[in-house]
Amino acid sequence: MIFDPTPLSPAEEELRAEVRAWLADVLPDDFRPGLGLGSRHDPEFTRALAQRGWVGMSIPTEYGGAGASTVRRFVVIEELLAAGAPIAAHWIAERQTAPALLRFGTEEQRRWFLPRIAAGECWFSLGMSEPDAGSDLASVRTTATPVDGGWRVTGTKVWTTNAHLNHFAVVLCRTSPQGDGDRHAGLSQLIVDLGADGVQVSPIPLIDGEEHVNEVVLDGVFVPDERVLGEVGQGWAQVTAELAHERSGPDRYLSVLGLYRAFLAVHGRDPDAVRAAAIGRIGAQLWAIRQLSLAVARSLEQGEAPAVEASLVKDVGTTFEQQVVETLRDVAGGEIDPGGPTMFDRLLAECVLNAPTWTLRGGTTEVLRGIAAKALTRSAR
């Protein structure tokens, strides 16, 4: 695994300042930051961001995007997440679907979807996880049967973020039986219209009362041939190729930055040595993980596919996020009060309820460490 140190260029730093100034102008003074991927679904904010050219930045100009580098996109995303901005409407489409369409999609798909994604008008969910399957994507039981002009899709997906609000989902399903015991064979990705006949979306209430993840039942949903993403039977290879985009970004370590800043607002000048040590330790760890994530972004920009490095960043980053919540909870002392007088009180309560999910979504810690261990074993031979 290679993580090359990579500083930002003057132009990239200038972009950071521009995004930060714009956010300071558009977000209200009493704005409550979201927790990274758990930020709010705000179509109006997404469209305003798109007008600045900051949605679908890596989409080439011929498809309506900015044609920006992976690192310039990283800079914008980092500032949005640091502010806790409401980016949920376009997040999956911008982060994962657009790169997949550029790499595997047909020209017709690119011409239709990419301009809409870049305009902040087309929102996607991911249809991967299934009941009783855990993190084992190869065990998917959702099937797609060939019919005249397309496919009939039947199955159930769970933990499908914002499927009740979004327009489409890229669904991983089985299009042919696995052969020779290879569970990864015979999987394909289909673009499913979430408003189509046979799609039933049911929110799954979380422990904090929020309903942004869903169960999606697909009951014989028709998907035309032109909505197959990539090659039939190559779904596993395609999903694997996407993981570097999903697992390595700032969203994997910045969920707690709002909490950290709120803690500093209350305790930043506290002379207590334990609190001072906690502040310094969190800051140092955050900067180190950020450098790892930036190195992966630069690698992606250079056309590489650092899937193993991305898995390590996701593991380290989400574990760090959980540790920050526990550390700040301990050193702050007192009862957790979601209706407390400070932003720190309210964000801490929200983080305590949500933190257990951070090492689950996007691949569990055990799965990610298995990926890293296999790569290290191969390199040692």
Could you tell me the CATH number of the domain that includes residue 267? 1.20.140.10
Q: pLDDT > 90: what percent of the chain?
A: 60
Q: Tell me the pLDDT tens digit for each residue of 282-324.
A: 999 999 999 999 998 888 888 777 778 888 888 899 999 999 9
Same domain, 107 and 22: yes
- Residue for token digits 């550029």? 102
78 is catalytic: no
Do 31 and 39 touch, CB atoms closer than 8 A? no
| 3-state helix/strand/coil string of 190-259 | EEEECCCCCEEEEECCCCCCCCCCEEEEEEEEEEEHHHEECCCCEHHHHHHHHHHHHHCCHHHCCCCHHH
Contacts (Cβ under 8 Å, ≥6 apart) of 379: 1
Within 13 Å, how many C-alpha atoms sit on residue 330's CB side? 11
3-class secondary-structure state, position 84: coil
Q: Tell me the pLDDT tens digit for each residue of 96-146.
A: 999 999 999 999 999 999 999 999 999 999 999 899 876 667 788 999 999
* pLDDT score for 362: 67
Burial (0-12, 13-18, 19+ Cβ within 10 Å), 362? buried
The distance from CA 90 to its chain's CA centroid, rounded to whole angstroms, is 11
Same domain, 110 and 134: no
Same domain, 107 and 145: no
Which of 88, 122, 156 is the last residue before a domain boundary?
122
Same domain, 342 and 260: yes
The 8-class DSSP code of residue 96 comes to I
Same domain, 232 and 210: yes
Of 34, 9, 19, the closest CA to residue 79 belongs to 19
Same domain, 88 and 155: no
Question: Is 30 within the bounds of a domain?
Answer: yes
Question: Is 132 within the bounds of a domain?
Answer: yes
| Rounded-to-integer distance, Cα 217 and Cα 277, Å | 49
Question: Is 228 within the bounds of a domain?
Answer: yes
Predicted model pTM:
0.88
- Residue for token digits 């690119």? 110
Question: Is 5 within the bounds of a domain?
Answer: no
3-class secondary-structure state, position 143: strand
Beta strands, E only, the chain = 124-127, 143-147, 150-157, 168-174, 187-193, 199-203, 214-224, 228-229
Same domain, 229 and 289: no
* pLDDT score for 379: 65
Same domain, 175 and 115: no
Question: Is 4 within the bounds of a domain?
Answer: no
Instruction: Dig out the tokens for 72 from the structure.
Output: 């310039």
Which of 90, 105, 122 is the last residue before a domain boundary?
122
Same domain, 260 and 371: yes
The 8-class DSSP code of residue 272 comes to -
Same domain, 230 and 252: no
Question: Is 293 within the bounds of a domain?
Answer: yes
The distance from CA 268 to its chain's CA centroid, rounded to whole angstroms, is 30
Q: In whole angstroms, how far apart are CA 267 and each of 92, 271, 324, 331, 342?
A: 35, 9, 15, 10, 12
Same domain, 67 and 112: yes
* pLDDT score for 144: 97
Residues in the chain: 381
Contacts (Cβ under 8 Å, ≥6 apart) of 356: 322
Of 242, 90, 124, the closest CA to residue 192 belongs to 124
Question: Is 243 within the bounds of a domain?
Answer: no
The mean of the pLDDT values for the chain is: 89
Task: Read off the amino acid at residue 113.
Answer: F
Number of domains in the chain: 3
Question: Is 44 within the bounds of a domain?
Answer: yes
Tell me the sheet residues that pair with 224.
150
Catalytic residue selected from 130, 246, 309, 321: 246
Residue 95, domain CATH? 1.10.540.10
Which of 205, 237, 269 is the last residue before a domain boundary?
237
* Structural domain that includes position 359: 248-380
Same domain, 133 and 117: no
Give pLDDT < 70 ranges for the chain: 1, 134-136, 178-181, 243-247, 362-363, 375, 379-381
* pLDDT score for 180: 60
Of 197, 199, 190, 181, the closest CA to residue 145 belongs to 190
Tell me the sheet residues that pair with 214.
203
Q: What are phi and psi of 313, to 5 degrees?
A: -60, -45
Do 125 and 160 touch, CB atoms closer than 8 A? yes
